[in-house]
C-alpha cells in the first residue's frame, strides 16, 4: 500500500507520522520504504539517526525528487509491501505526484497551528489528485497537545473534514506529548521509546490499523 502524508502547513507533524507509521510497519515484519520528498530530508535523517544507534528493525529511507517520484514508484511498488511518502508543505510537483500515486492520504492537522491550515490550497491539491486518482482515501488526523482536545478547535477540524468529499476524521486525536517528540528526535517510533507511554503507543497503533487494516 502507498500512503502519502501531506498538508500545506509546516510543522503539522507530517514527518513524525510518516516515520512512526513506517517503523510500525517494519516492526510488523512488512517490507517498508520511506520516501522523503521534502528537501529538508527530515525522514531520511530520522532513519540515519536510527541506523547510527543500531536500532532494529532498520527502516529503509531515501530522498526522492518530484520528477522521479512517479516513474520510480512504478518499480518500487513491486519491491515493497508498503511505501510511506513524506511530502513537503509546499505545493510542488512532488507533493502533487505523491497524492496521485497514493492509496491513502493522511492529512495531519495540528490543533495548535489551525491558523496555518490553508484549506483552500489543500482542497485544490486534493481535487487535482482525485482527477487522476479517484479512489484516493483521505484520512484527517488531529494532532493535539492537550487532553482532552479543545472542543472548539475540534469543531474547526470537523468542518474542514466535511469540506473534503469522502474524507474521514480519525476517531481519536494523536497526542503530541513528550514521548512522541523525544522518540522522533532519537530516530525511534513512539512504540520503541522508554519509558513507554501506553496511551501514545495505543493511539499510533490504532492509526496504523485504521490505515493498513487489522
Tell whether residue 113 is a contact of Mg ion (CB under 5 A): no
Of the residues 2, 6, 12, 22, which one makes contact with ligand ATP according to CB under 6 A? 12
All residues at 6 or more sequence positions from 199 whose CB lies less than 8 Å from its CB, including other chains: 175
Count the Cβ atoms, other than its own, within 10 Å of residue 153.
18
| Residue placing its CB nearer to ligand ATP in the complex, 4 or 15 | 15
Site residues for Mg ion, window 17-56 (CB under 5 A)? 42
Q: Please provide residue 152's backbone torsions phi and psi, each rounded to the nearest 5 degrees.
A: -65, -40
Tell whether residue 130 is a contact of Mg ion (CB under 5 A): no
> Which does residue 89 touch among ligand ATP, Mg ion, none (CB within 5 to 8 A, set by kind)?
ligand ATP
| Closest distance to Mg ion from the beta carbon of 211 (Å) | 18
| Residue placing its CB nearer to Mg ion in the complex, 15 or 176 | 15
| Closest distance to Mg ion from the beta carbon of 141 (Å) | 14
Helix H or strand E encompassing 62 = strand 60-63
Tell whether residue 184 is a contact of Mg ion (CB under 5 A): no
All residues at 6 or more sequence positions from 88 whose CB lies less than 8 Å from its CB, including other chains: 37, 38, 39, 40, 94, 95
Tell whether residue 14 is a contact of Mg ion (CB under 5 A): yes
Tell whether residue 15 is a contact of Mg ion (CB under 5 A): yes
Write out the DSSP string of 124-165: HHHHHHHHH-TT-EEEEEEEESSSSPPHHHHHHHHHHHHTST
Residues that bind Mg ion (CB under 5 A): 14-15, 42
Amino acid at each position: 500500500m502507498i500512503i502519502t502524508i501531506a498538508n500545506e502547513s509546516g510543522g503539522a507533524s507530517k514527518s513524525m507520522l510518516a516515520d512512526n507509521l513506517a517503523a510500525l510497519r517494519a516492526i510488523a515484519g512488512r517490507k517498508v520504504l520511506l520516501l522523503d520528498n521534502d528537501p529538508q530530508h527530515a525522514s531520511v535523517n530520522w532513519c540515519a539517526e536510527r541506523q547510527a544507534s543500531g536500532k532494529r528493525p532498520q527502516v529503509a529511507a531515501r530522498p526522492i525528487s518530484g520528477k522521479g517520484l512517479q516513474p520510480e514508484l512504478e518499480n518500487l511498488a513491486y519491491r515493497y509491501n508498503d511505501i510511506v511518502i513524506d511530502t513537503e508543505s509546499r505545493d510542488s510537483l512532488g507533493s502533487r505526484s505523491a497524492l496521485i500515486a497514493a492509496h491513502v492520504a493522511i492529512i495531519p492537522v495540528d490543533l495548535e497551528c489551525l491558523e496555518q491550515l490553508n484549506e483552500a490550497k489543500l482542497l485544490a491539491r486534493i481535487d487535482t489528485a482525485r482527477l487522476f486518482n479517484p479512489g484516493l482515501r483521505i484520512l484527517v488526523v488531529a494532532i493535539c497537545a492537550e487532553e482532552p482536545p479543545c472542543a472548539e478547535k475540534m469543531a474547526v477540524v470537523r468542518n474542514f473534514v466535511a469540506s473534503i468529499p469522502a474524507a474521514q476524521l480519525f476517531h481519536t486525536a494523536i497526542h503530541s506529548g513528550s514521548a512522541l517528540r523525544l522518540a522522533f528526535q532519537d530516530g525511534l517510533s513512539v512504540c520503541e521509546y522508554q519509558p513507554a507511554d501506553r496511551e501514545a503507543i495505543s493511539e499510533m497503533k490504532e492509526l496504523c490499523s485504521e490505515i493498513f487494516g487489522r
